[in-house]
A and B are shown apart, each in its own frame.
Chain A
């Protein structure tokens, strides 16, 4: 018998992990079949999906029809998409004049240039683009409504998804700064400001958006002088912004309260005044914590833009309803709702993905 000391240390290469724990099989075992109950759940889900997916695909694509002039031309079991050909323009642009629709498309393309420098870093010419972003609201207004040589388009011609985007994006862009100010105001040491902010937040949150829209449409004109008319889309944007900023303020207040008081004190100790300590120390951290809540509010706001139908503006959903009241297209509500849902899903899902990306990126900057 040799003592263990005599044996030289032999280093064997690490053995590969068991075949069942790597690759596709490993992934399946870990994620889908890790226990008895999970296995059952997986099998039931696969079964349900196998029922649903073919049926949905069959309805939406395989046995659908895309050609025809009215619903009587659709002889198929599946979806009738024949209206798309005629109506796509209305769904996107509402009653905007045909020949002028390029202006909406141009405004939409420029929108990306205006948003990009604020959404990420490392965009070439970022500084100049930011100047462009500040000018963008005016450029877009002129493009959409006319002026400076462009034909005037009254805002009651605005409609369709374009209206959802105008109201939604304006609300989003305006409600964040207003919400931040309200959140800070709510924590202010000056009683007047604090009371005003609390009063605003609680009053607006206590009322449904549909009521605010209704008030803006019916009551607001009465309080304005008779010769002052405020465009109904502007009124909607004001109300949607007011509504979203009240929620935004509460989301951000949650973030502000999560910052340890040491941070506030450290900022004071550095001799920073109130605004600089907020801007440099507190808000960057508070906003980062609040991202999920902020985006949540944005998504809610965007979907709320369909409520504008109560004051007679035709967003994409209103256009769909007006269409299926046409005797030629009666009863196609399922198709139009699915179509509208796709638009909302794309926008809302993009926002949610962007916020997750932003969170991941910012989490690297902590400490």
Chain B
């Protein structure tokens, strides 16, 4: 009954937003209060069902897209596969539920999905008011700018009087207004409905600069025929920590989701890759690795999972670094550098608690 009420609340309030423009990643700060304490056991449901229901985007470059065989791929999808492998032993036992910015939260609240891995920004109101639990940060994004090199501008702070293409009705718009007010510069907004329109408008020189999330800028830039004539400015003017989330109140399931993500990140730190994992399974001198891979200790048991849960998760698509390189990294058309998403030991802020 409780879930019923919560879903109604989430759905009704999201319906109120149905008139708004779809905002891919940003916090709708007017989002509903839906306090929640689900008493159901998602873990048991998933095991009984034999399939993980994972909410992903309907299409976002690098994060969720279809390959030529009609299979879903991407950074967000890779997490679904790792989680399915950890819980069910098979990365293909996932049912992808494609969600828009509007119906992602009701879908999670109603139990239609077990986990939402859809480039969703971790914000206070979503965590607290909406009654979800973010299990970690899989990608640190932030709003940036792209402009033509011929403008002769090296930094966003020199953009006085520039015209800026921007998606309307998003917090991107608010971030931009704040940034320019703080820096006391004037700008002329060119409001645009969708990302694709914005790309076209920028190419047609209707605006000097285009602003959206840095990962989106990289995707946009990779479509330019003359990409070397454009540059992404160094300023990042907002924090957009993206990560998977689950329903609040199901702590066992949240732990599984959280530690699967942590295992992927820790594996990169420990140097465990999909290539050398079989070697490592024979035993290493590093007890942390041994505990993670289940050759020592009983971490899997504590989660209610088999000993080799992390091995399965890692074999699904490799460690965090391998996943990043495959879908977003410098060898992909998106060409994103690790930046903030590098390990803390490599100058980034990616830091997972230890496996012990």
Contacts and interface: CB of A to CB of B under 8 A. Distances in A.
Interface residues of B, number: 42
Nearest to B10: A218
B130 to A, nearest CB: 15
A117 interface: no
Contacts of B223: 71, 330-331
B18 interface: yes
Interface in B109-131: 110, 112
B60 interface: yes
Contact of B65 (A219, A309, A323): A323
B247 interface: no
A324 B333 contact: no
A13 B327 CA distance: 85
Contacts, number: 102
A222 B95 contact: no
Given A210-B18, A218-B11, A330 B333 contact: yes
B110 A314 contact: no
A95 interface: yes
B226 interface: no
Interface string A299-342: 00000000001111010001101111111101101000000000
B315 interface: no
A323 B18 CA distance: 25
A219 B8 contact: yes
A327 B65 CA distance: 8
B171 interface: no
Nearest to A96: B70
Contacts of A310: 100, 102-103
B103 A322 contact: no
Contacts of A331: 199, 222-223
A168 interface: no
A106 interface: no
Contacts of A330: 61, 219, 222-223, 333
B103 A311 contact: yes
A312 B59 contact: no
Interface in B15-63: 15, 18, 57-63
A279 interface: no
B177 interface: no
Most buried by B among A214, A221, A319: A214
Interface in B88-115: 95, 97-100, 102-103, 106-107, 110, 112
A95 B333 CA distance: 25
Nearest to A97: B70
B58 A312 contact: yes
Contacts of A219: 7-8, 11
Contacts of B106: 218
Contact of A218 (B74, B110, B334): B110
A29 B311 CA distance: 81
A326 B102 contact: no
26 contacts: A86-B68, A90-B66, A214-B18, A214-B102, A214-B103, A218-B7, A222-B7, A222-B110, A309-B100, A310-B100, A314-B58, A318-B58, A319-B66, A321-B59, A322-B58, A322-B65, A323-B59, A323-B65, A325-B59, A325-B63, A325-B64, A325-B65, A325-B66, A325-B74, A326-B67, A326-B73
Interface of A: 71-72, 86-87, 89-90, 94-95, 156, 208, 210-211, 214-215, 217-219, 221-222, 309-312, 314, 318-319, 321-328, 330-331, 333
Interface of B: 4, 7-8, 11, 14-15, 18, 57-68, 70, 73-74, 95, 97-100, 102-103, 106-107, 110, 112, 196, 199, 219, 222-223, 327, 332-334
7 tightest Cβ-Cβ pairs between the two chains A and B? A331-B223, A325-B59, A325-B65, A322-B59, A327-B333, A312-B98, A86-B68
